[in-house]
Amino acid sequence: MSAISKLSTWTLTTASMLLAVASAHAQVTVDEPWVRATVAQQQATGAFMRLSSKADSALVQADSPAAQHVEIHEMIMENDVMKMRQIPRLALPAGQTVELKPGGYHIMLIDLKTQVHEGNHVPMTLTFESPDGKRETVNIEAPVRPLASGAPSGGHHHKH
Amino acid sequence: MISSIQRRGFLAALIAAGLSLYGCSRTEELKNINGIDMSGTEIGQDFLLTGTDGRQHRLADFKDKAVLVFFGFTQCPDVCPTALFRAAEVKKLLGPDGDQLQVLFITVDPERDTPEVLKAYVSAFDPSFMGLYGDLDQTAKTAKNFKAYYAKVPTGASYTMDHSAITYVYDRAGRLRLGLRHTQTAEEYAADIRQILALD
């Protein structure tokens, strides 16, 4: 191995160790994020994931370079009528897993800057707020799944 | 909106009517269906909309196939893709009878769902699926015909469409027979559709 590639390997290993340490200390963990792919000229799509926080927290904001506007939404089915509404925050009670999945919550990416292609990743920044008003941000790269995706399969498990 | 009490009463009335006509050469009743029996209702008898194949379509164009109709819009990251994905699953579950099924997706949001977007979107789930659209007036008239509720609702930076999540199922003779609900599975849909395909 050349000196340069040894240095790169060392840097990468250290960086990923630091990242691992950082997320171990983070309040909130983000599991299995994904974004639904779009067709050309489609202006919006959704992001899904599982969130859990060690102490009481809430998702209060989401941002992404992929879209002009990013909002937290709730889907409500009432008498067989589907309604989506923006919500200002999504509560994450301590120790509970909150799922953003079809049938419930999602992050809406609105006014997409470009088509979202299957196989790519969408960078997102999630902002969490604890009851004392302290904020924590987590950066994620959400893989893009096909537009024609059903409910997430039961077989995926993230190990930390 | 039909309450579950009204729906049960309606179903009971239909069963009674069916029993009283037992033995006549009338269309068979569906048995043990998962969906809401809509046989004999006045709703959704026809439509006239433009298809993503560029041609005008009415229900009669799809005669001899079982037809599934769903109202939705492409900027719907949850219910609409799930419904179309399920329809594709249903088609697979029907096996060789899958090509006896025509899935139609009527947009309630023609302002954003241009023919190009609609075509690409619907085809992504299955190349045989067709999108249908009209202008705002035609859209309103069609939904009213189906008693399918929809509304444009501002939300955050944009707007969303509230819409009925019922899938309407027609038999090969172009008669509306069932309303299947979003909470039901592909297997439940397929079981009912197999019965419909077996009719006539």
Distance separating alpha carbons of residues B18 and B28, to the nearest angstrom:
8
- pLDDT at residue A159 greater than cutoff 60: no
Out of B81, B86, B165, whose CB is closest to A80?
Answer: B165
Bridge-partner residues for B140, per DSSP? none
Residue B1: band (very low, low, confident or very high) from pLDDT cuts 50, 70, 90 = low
pLDDT digits (tens, 9 = 90+) for A42-58: 999 999 999 999 999 99
| Interface membership of B7 toward A (CB under 8 Å) | no
| Region of residue A79 (phi > 0: left; psi between -120 and 50: alpha; otherwise: beta) | left
A1 token code pair: 């191995």
For residue B119, give the 3-state DSSP assignment: helix
Kindly tell me if the per-residue pLDDT of A158 is higher than 50.
no
pLDDT at position B83: 97
Helices (H), chain B: 4-20, 79-93, 115-123, 136-145, 186-198
Express the helix, strand and coil content of chain B in percent, nearest 5 each.
35, 25, 40
Q: What is the pLDDT of residue B32?
A: 86
**Whole-complex ipTM:** 0.82
The strand pairing partners of B67, in sequence order, are: B102, B170
In the structure, what pLDDT confidence band is assigned to residue A5 with cuts at 50, 70 and 90?
confident
Task: Taking residues A62-67, report their average pLDDT.
Answer: 98
Query: Hey, is the C-beta of B83 within 8 angstroms of any chain A C-beta?
Result: no
Amino acid A19: pLDDT: 53
Amino acid identity, position B18: G
Look at residues B132, B126, B88, B86 and name the one whose alpha carbon lies nearest to residue B108: B132
Backbone angles phi, psi at A22, to 5 degrees: -60, -45
Q: State the count of interchain CB pairs (< 8 A) between A and B.
A: 109
The pLDDT value recorded for residue A27 is: 86
CA–CA dist A55, B132 (Å, integer): 49
Please list every residue in chain A whose beta carbon sits closer than 8 Å to the beta carbon of residue B112.
Answer: 43
Least confident piece of the model among A27-31, B22-26, B46-50, B88-92 = B22-26
Q: Do B85 and A148 touch (CB under 8 A)?
A: yes
Contacts of B176-180 with CB under 8 Å at 24 or more apart are B176/B38, B176/B39, B176/B41, B176/B43, B176/B44, B176/B45, B177/B30, B177/B37, B177/B38, B177/B39, B178/B30, B178/B33, B178/B35, B178/B36, B178/B37, B178/B38, B178/B39, B179/B35, B179/B36, B179/B38, B180/B34, B180/B35, B180/B36
pLDDT 10s digits, B19-60: 544 443 345 678 889 999 998 888 998 999 999 999 999 999
Q: How many CB atoms lie within 10 A of CB B197?
A: 16
The string of pLDDT tens digits covering residues B141-198 is: 999 999 999 999 998 889 999 999 999 999 999 999 999 999 999 999 999 999 999 9
Please state whether beta strands A81-86 and B158-164 pair in parallel, antiparallel, or not at all (unpaired): antiparallel
Chain A nearest CA to B195, separation (Å): 23
Residue A22: band (very low, low, confident or very high) from pLDDT cuts 50, 70, 90:
very low
Please determine, for residue A112, whether its predicted confidence score (pLDDT) is greater than 80: yes
CB of B132 closer than 8 Å to CB of B92: no
Per the document, the length of chain A is: 160
CB-CB contact of A136 with A28 (8 Å): yes
Tell me the pLDDT tens digit for each residue of B60-77: 999 999 999 999 999 999
Contact A108, A44 (CB under 8 A): yes
For residue B129, pLDDT beyond 50: yes
B84 at the A interface (CB within 8 A)? yes
